[in-house]
Structures are given as C-alpha cells and as structure tokens.
Amino acid sequence: MHNLIKRKTFSKILVAVHESFKSADTAVDYAIKVAQDYDAKLIILYIIRANTNLHTVNSPSHIIQLKKQAQAYLTELSEKIHKDSNKDDIVRVKTEIIASIRIADAIVSYAKDKHIDLIIIGTRGRSKLKSIVLGSVTPDVVRHAHCLVLTVR
C-alpha cells in the first residue's frame, strides 16, 4: 500500500517573517530544515506593515528606516544560514522585503504569484478569544493559501 502513496515534493518554500511574529526564528529554522530535506529554494519574505491610520501614517523616512532594519535582519539571517550549512546541505536562499497593509493577503498573493509549494509561518500562540477580537495573520494565510501551509509555534 505504501507504494501507492506519492510523496509530495517542494521546489519553492516561503517563510514569512515580520517584526510582530514572535516565532519567526523558529519558523525560519523549520524552513531551513525542510528546504534542505527537499533540496528546495527558500524564500524569506519580510513584510513591513504599512499603516493606514491617519494619526500613524508611515512617513517615507519611517518606511526607509523599517526597510533598513528588515535588510539588516535578512542579511544576518542569510549569513547564519550559509555559515551553518555544510557542503551537502547548502540552502539556496532568496530574501525579499515588501510593505503591505494586510500582511496575510500579501503572503497569500506573493505565494500564488511566485508559484510557492509550501508556506511556513509562525504563530503567536494567542488564545481563540484574542484571535477573534484582534485578528491573526496565520489563520488567514491557512484559510486562503493555494498551497500547503505549515504553522510553527
């Protein structure tokens, strides 16, 4: 019977990170391992939340500062990945930074446009009540993604 089960393969894996994702480092660690296991390309997508609130509109200089912080994080992360990889487990990594008002929609759209096979995303570990009241990125990605989604706590 096990011969009839076809193993799913992944060629492009997306891990989404944002400064509010408390479990981003754990999600990235899982994504690295999965990318190594499947010899897949790993895309690390950093999303900057763009505000629409008139009192807290992101100024161009504020967005530039957030992009610099995101780039520094991604550079450090890429260096760590390459330093920790051995010859047999080299991970092909691409990093990208985008700004969006709706983070979940940005992740889902990016994954669809780039033909991603697997999305890996962290959860904050909120209670159901807090998620209902405050909303949550991860459940929206799980509900709307065209591909498999692995959530990491």
pTM above 0.85, yes or no: no
Q: What is the CA radius of gyration of the chain?
A: 16
pLDDT at 124 > cutoff 70:
no
Domain residue spans of the chain: 13-152
Read off the pLDDT of each residue in 57-84 and give the average, rounded to a whole number.
Answer: 82
DSSP 12: E
Characterise 115 by phi-psi region: left (phi > 0), alpha (psi -120 to 50), beta (else).
left
Query: What gap in Å lies between CA 125 and CA 118, rounded to an integer?
Result: 21
Task: List, for residues 88-107, the tens digit of each pLDDT value.
Answer: 667 889 999 998 888 899 99
CATH superfamily for domain 13-152: HUPs (3.40.50.620)
